[in-house]
A = this chain, B = another copy of it.
Amino acid sequence: MAEASSIRPQSAASIEQWDFEADVVVAGYGIAGVSASIEAARAGADVLVLERTSGWGGAAALAGGFIYLGGGTPLQQALGFEDSPANMKSFMMAALGPGADEEKITDYCEGSVEHYNWLVDNGVPFKESFYGQPGWETPFDDGLMYSGGENSAPFNTIATPAPRGHVPQMSGKRTGEKGGGFMLMKPLIETAESLGVRAEYDMRVQRLVVDGDRVVGIIAKQYGKEVAVRARTGVVLATGSFAYNEAMIQSYAPRLIGRPGAAIEEHDGKAIQMAQALGADLAHMDATEVAFFGDPQLMIRGILVNGRGQRYVNEDTYPGRIGQETLLRNENQAYLIIDEASYEEGCAADSSTPFFRFQPKWVAETVEELESDMGLPEGTLQSTVEVYNRHAARGEDPVLGKKKEWVKPIGSPVAALDLRNFTAGFTLGGLRTSINSEVIHVSGEPIPGLFAAGRCTAGVCAGGYASGTSLGDGSFYGRRAGISAAKG
């Protein structure tokens, strides 16, 4: 109970001595924290970062590294893709909703080219190379890729397709060296250090310190001892998601129970609760990214069916969308039906996820046999394949709109991969923030002195997701948080 109650804000009057002081105090040294630190330092602030682990990086450094950028970035232009802020907004509003924050998305799209340039100016390298294969990410060091289903149904008719997954250039990805997320974080950390940003490690934030309504500091535990950290102008919360807080997952996103993914254990939601204790408002707490452990190079060459043997998603879309449709709407039941020739073709293709290439669980000469072996009710899978093949013979998929180039009748022998319960995810909801990264009180007013960015906030995503939106809004609104916190 003593531990629990430590989340409540503490009065500044009760602080006898500040152990650390800075103008801007940033909690968390992942993508949002480093972006905030750089901008706060450039605005003239003395910046101190409190990081819970023994080094910088957060979940970002372990991520694939996508940053969702568009509206006509130099990289998009160099590679021949047209885009505009309005086009980008049309896609994001359609793909990231319902309920997406239009003000934030508009702002994000309008600032996207400038944000790309900022990243480049701070040393983040993007190779002028486009990767056009189906996949979660590029297996090479390409700089640009579709990362949200922009070029597939239903979004390819809502907005002009443009790839927006910008990936920092990696070195030696296939040999297990550093990936895109690391290559994003490293130059930004170096930039922050060059600007005099200080960091204290092994600092677990506990609660906020307030003077009246204003946040003026933070209490943290360092090596088991509580320390008081004074923030002269502002505190920035940038501690990540609540994917590893079991109670919060049960309360807000119960379909993720037992399947946290693509986040780190430090993502315990504590900063969200510290701000809630001050009356901070929340948004989109049910929203989740959902990874799906099927290889896109195989999935796109077959058909995905649910537990009733029905197709439910176009197989050429963003695999994270397949994950959401599977976990959230189809009871986490999925099978990939694919003929032998397509399976072999898929296995021969380049893949960023060769470890997602499972052997078929069932193989048969006919779909009728396969259906029976899988235990599906008679006629269900047969009719699904029959309808698919009937249209595929004409190169069409009127049911789900898979692109012509991937539509081909399913032949024999035919196999099924068992992709049931093959999902994991992280949370997208959190503190409600303004476009200036102020943490918004439930009254609708900003909480003075308190700012936040990254996955402890509700960013550009509501229900949907696209790879790169987390590092995207984390860096974009991390910068804003730094600027706002330096002003105080």
Contact = CB atoms under 8 A, between A and B. Distances in A.
Interface string A365-380: 0000000000001111
B286 A252 contact: yes
Contacts of A172: none
Query: What range describes how many residues of A lie at the interface?
Result: 35 or more
A138 to B, nearest CB: 32
Interface stretch (A45-53, A271-279, A333-341, A477-485): A271-279
Given A254-B463, A282-B251, A387 B377 contact: yes
A386 interface: yes
A273 B441 CA distance: 10
Nearest to A273: B442
A251 B283 CA distance: 5
Interface in A373-403: 377-380, 383-384, 386-387, 390-391, 398-400
Interface string A258-286: 00000000000000010011110111111
B399 A7 contact: no
A159 interface: no
A462 interface: yes
Nearest to A389: B379
A284 B251 contact: yes
B308 A399 contact: yes
A310 interface: yes
Contacts of A377: 387, 391, 398-399
Contacts of A254: 97-99, 462-463
Most chain B CB within a 10 A radius of its CB, from A251, A384, A398:
A251
A423 B398 CA distance: 26
Contact of A1 (B1, B99, B445): B445
Interface in A126-152: none
Copies of this chain present in the complex amount to: 2
Most chain B CB within a 10 A radius of its CB, from A1, A278, A310, A328:
A310
A80 interface: no
A357 interface: no
Interface of A: 1, 4-8, 97-99, 250-252, 254-255, 257, 273, 276-279, 281-286, 308, 310-311, 328-330, 377-380, 383-384, 386-387, 390-391, 398-400, 432, 441-445, 458, 462-463
A278 B283 CA distance: 17
Given A7-B442, A8-B443, A252-B285, A378 B390 contact: yes
Given A98-B255, A99-B250, 11 more contacts: A1-B444, A251-B284, A252-B283, A277-B279, A285-B286, A328-B329, A377-B387, A377-B391, A379-B383, A380-B387, A383-B387
A454 to B, nearest CB: 18
A325 B285 CA distance: 20
A7 B441 CA distance: 10
B8 A279 contact: yes
Contacts of A286: 252, 285-286
A230 B310 CA distance: 60
A320 to B, nearest CB: 18
14 contacts: A1-B444, A5-B445, A98-B255, A98-B257, A252-B282, A252-B285, A254-B462, A277-B443, A285-B286, A328-B329, A329-B330, A379-B386, A380-B399, A383-B387
Nearest to A400: B308
A380 B391 CA distance: 11
Contacts of A283: 251-252
Nearest to A387: B379
A187 to B, nearest CB: 35
A278 to B, nearest CB: 7
Most chain B CB within a 10 A radius of its CB, from A5, A378, A399:
A399
A274 B214 CA distance: 19
Contact of A4 (B4, B284, B445): B445
A434 to B, nearest CB: 14
Contacts of A328: 329
Nearest to A207: B443
